[in-house]
Structure 1
Amino acid sequence: MTSDGESGGKGLDQDGCFVREGSLERVPASFAPVVAGLTDRLAGHFPPGRVLSTYLYGSIPRGTAVPGVSDLDALLVLRGEGPSDADRAAARAVEAELDAAFPQIDGAGILLITEDRLLGEAERYDWAWFVACLCTPLSGPDVTAGLPRYRPTSLLAREANGDLHRRLPGLRERAAAATAPEERTRLTRGVARNLVRTGFTLVMPRWDGWTSDLAESAEVFGRYYPAHAEQMRAAARAARNPAAYPELLDDLLTGLAPWLADEYLAVHGAKALPPQGP
């Protein structure tokens, strides 16, 4: 039971630990060629041995992807140092080729991280948790297999999303500079998704469970913060169809986002700053 008296368990096993969401078996048949295309193009753009492991995340491995609406999300774990400019250029080329070749997806996004950083102590409750619990292995070893199990704790909430207050000024600058409709649509989608997920992780330890569904995340958040429930529902709708809400970006960044940043700090504290180099 949680402190609110609700029974948790959604997305958790009987010990209260995260169940890894997604699997290759859940990939919808219409998206299987996209996944195969990703594997082929990675081999064509990255030098042999550069990519240690490839993961999928998001709606495609969860089995909820909608043709023509959903995007392809992937994460590459790299050997050695980096990511380098060449790595980033290769990832952007793969993204562009996939988007052009497969009408099933509305864009592709590839994240890059090195094995050493992913498994370092500083990322234990951020990137490592993300890969261990929310990413589906596609190729290569599962580098997170030896990590301890994760629970929906305040520490996890803090390290996963406790930096909104630091990112908010930059998001406002990007919004002010985004004048093209396509650019604002992309930014609205990204900001809306992030705010819904941040709102959910704010209440995650109290709800004592996990969901990646944006609509459900907004509803769970609304149980604990009813005064902001409609704002969060609007963000969830914009995350799915940002072009339909052209004015929402500024509203989110001046209304919901600053309140959420302050509340997150009050409840969970600030995410630890990354270690500084020499």
Structure 2
Amino acid sequence: MTTQTLDRPTTGTGLEVRPYGPTIGAEIGGIDLGQPLDKATREELYALLLKHKVLFFRDQAIDRDQQLAFARNFGELYAHPSGGLQSHRIIQPIASEDFKKYADRGNHWHTDTSWRLNPSLGAVLRAVDIPETGGDTIWADGGAILRGLPDDLRAAIDDAYVIHDFQDALAKAGEIYPLVAHPLIRTHPETGEDILWVNFSLKPRIVDLAPEDSKALLARVYDEIKKPEYHARFRWAKNSVAFWDNRAGVHYAVRDYGDYPRVMERVLIASDDVPHRVRKAA
């Protein structure tokens, strides 16, 4: 087996790749995100995203306009209804102060904009003000989680649809959007991989199950997602950037930094894909 290291180019474009784990996460070197991407580099990065599901970049002293320009390489951008920066409406600040407003939600594994008919393709997250220690983010591989489920749990959720309820927040923002249900197991539209995909921050409930049964089943799913063998944990540092495939799993922001005013800035990449399940022939 060949070991990939950051001091050895591993792609045709000279990008340097260091995988974080067997199935999820890779740190990418040999690139300046502040510069325009040529076609070959853009395509190579996207291929790496599909393979590793989340990409990490260090020492990227980029500003907001450069963050937007990088994200636009991979699709149309989406302005979240919760609001963005006054100067850059499409950039959404993710601040520790905001978490206090929604303390009732707790801290959960989630995927972005799962309440939409066509949730986002991915996101680019830039560290703005981070604590010296703590504040990591963890990504979980939805495909690996699904493959590792106990047989009885896999059977119980095989045909399940889940509703993610964002109605209260939308109402506060003056937005109207219907409740939609997505398959709890979705097929990735590009890789064809089946993915366990559920947002625990938006009061998920399984369609056609009694509330207590839905809660009990989702609690078992949550316990599986928490297993560390499915995770890539990123320790943020100044000028760090993460770029992830929102269709490939879930993530979790670790709030272990007390009252420090941690601030990140996120750009969402839109998608036309409606989550669906492709049944494979036996």
Q: TM-score, normalised by structure 2?
A: 0.26
Higher relative contact order (CA 8 A, sep 6+): 2
TM normalised by structure 1 equals 0.26
Q: Which structure features the higher share of helix residues?
A: 1
Judging by fraction of residues, say which structure has more strand: 2
